[in-house]
Amino acid sequence: MLQINKNYVLDSEKKPIAVQIPITEFEKIEEILEDYGLVKLIEEVEDEQPLSKDDALKYLEVLKNNVEC
């Protein structure tokens, strides 16, 4: 399990309002969340049939044309 070293930020009434963590631990948490999200996306589509090369290229063109730069 990931060890998270936390520093609590308190308001004037000594109530916790925020938490500080080292940037390396934050980056590790980000990586874990991204990996989790990727696994969920893969699970979501694992029963779908893959696109043919031609269909994939057509789909890519549609995406390129719909993206605003």
What residues have CB less than 8 Å from 9, skipping those under 6 apart?
16, 17, 18, 19, 20
CB-CB contact of 2 with 32 (8 Å): yes
- Residues 1-11: tens digit of each pLDDT: 889 999 999 99
Instruction: Give pLDDT, residue 68.
Output: 61
Instruction: Tell me the whole-structure pTM to 2 decimals.
Output: 0.61
**What average pLDDT does the segment 14-24 reach?**
97
Average pLDDT, rounded, for the chain: 92
